[in-house]
Amino acid sequence: MEYGEVVLPNRIVPEKEIVSPLKPVLRKATEADREKDVLNRQLEAAARPVWEEHVKKHDLEMQLIDIEYTFDNAKLIFYFTAEGRVDFRDLVKDLASVFRTRIELRQIGVRDEAKFIGGMGVCGRPFCCKTFLSDFSQVSIKMAKEQNLSLSSSKISGTCGRLMCCLKFEQEVYEQEYATFPKVDSLVITPAGRGVIVESNFLTGKVKVKMEDANNSIKTFAPNEVKIIGQVKSDTEIDTSLLELEDK
């Protein structure tokens, strides 16, 4: 049993967006329910020093992220992060003896930690994971490369240290558009001669070509002005260290 707040009015939802099974709303909250929710928040705050005391007692390396009491106090959940797996069986026994309820410990990742705590992204808006994302999608370095973004970790990673979730938002559009758009590293013939595409941007509708001339000059053309005659091996490989930003 959980206590919640309505944030959106009744609306039509496509069947494919429904995550089954849908859980029923038991009843509209009463004043007594609201008072109990306030009490539960106080109990959660009081549980924090108890957690810290027993974690220290068992000499465990665990960082507490959040504490949650179910509305009926049938279960107390501790969310934490840690390096690697942690044997917390003795800790659970101690906590159960103190709180006299079912204890559950959940180890979460860095993306979940950001979702719990919240904050402001580099775009100046609250974290997407905190405001509207219901689940995390797989994000890859390949997406950043296809979107012509800087492959600097500081530019494409979020506060959590993983690739920014928003890289996924527009990826489908990029894939559709680039399916028919000249690709980077294509060998082409242009009105100015042969060259290799070094930048392809469907947003501007232009491609930049490194010409095969004495100065290796860079010239800009419309897609219909270039004819692809082959492919060259790329000199810019993805830095393998950037793969650590991907959430496995």
Instruction: For 191-240, give the DSSP string.
Output: TTEEEEEEEEETTTTEEEEEESSTT--EEEE-GGG-EEEEE---S-PPPG
User: CA-to-CA distance for 200 and 234, rounded, in angstroms?
Assistant: 14
pLDDT of res. 91: 95
pLDDT of res. 33: 95
pLDDT of res. 47: 96
Cβ–Cβ < 8 Å for 78, 105? yes
pLDDT of res. 147: 86
pLDDT of res. 2: 87
pLDDT of res. 210: 93
pLDDT of res. 240: 64
User: CA-to-CA distance for 172 and 179, rounded, in angstroms?
Assistant: 11
pLDDT of res. 135: 82
Q: What count of residues does the chain have?
A: 248
User: CA-to-CA distance for 195 and 44, rounded, in angstroms?
Assistant: 65
**Considering the entire predicted model, what is its pTM?**
0.67
List per-residue pLDDT tens for the chain, 248 residues long: 889 888 778 889 898 888 888 888 999 999 999 999 999 999 999 999 999 999 999 999 999 999 999 999 999 999 999 988 899 999 999 999 999 999 999 999 889 999 988 999 988 999 999 888 878 888 999 898 888 888 888 889 998 889 999 999 989 988 888 888 888 889 999 999 999 999 888 888 899 999 998 888 999 999 999 999 988 876 555 566 667 777 76
pLDDT of res. 100: 93
User: CA-to-CA distance for 186 and 168, rounded, in angstroms?
Assistant: 25
pLDDT of res. 241: 64
CA angle 30, 36, 40 (to 5 degrees): 145
**Taking the alpha carbons of 45, 50, 51, 53 in that order, is the dihedral positive or negative?**
positive
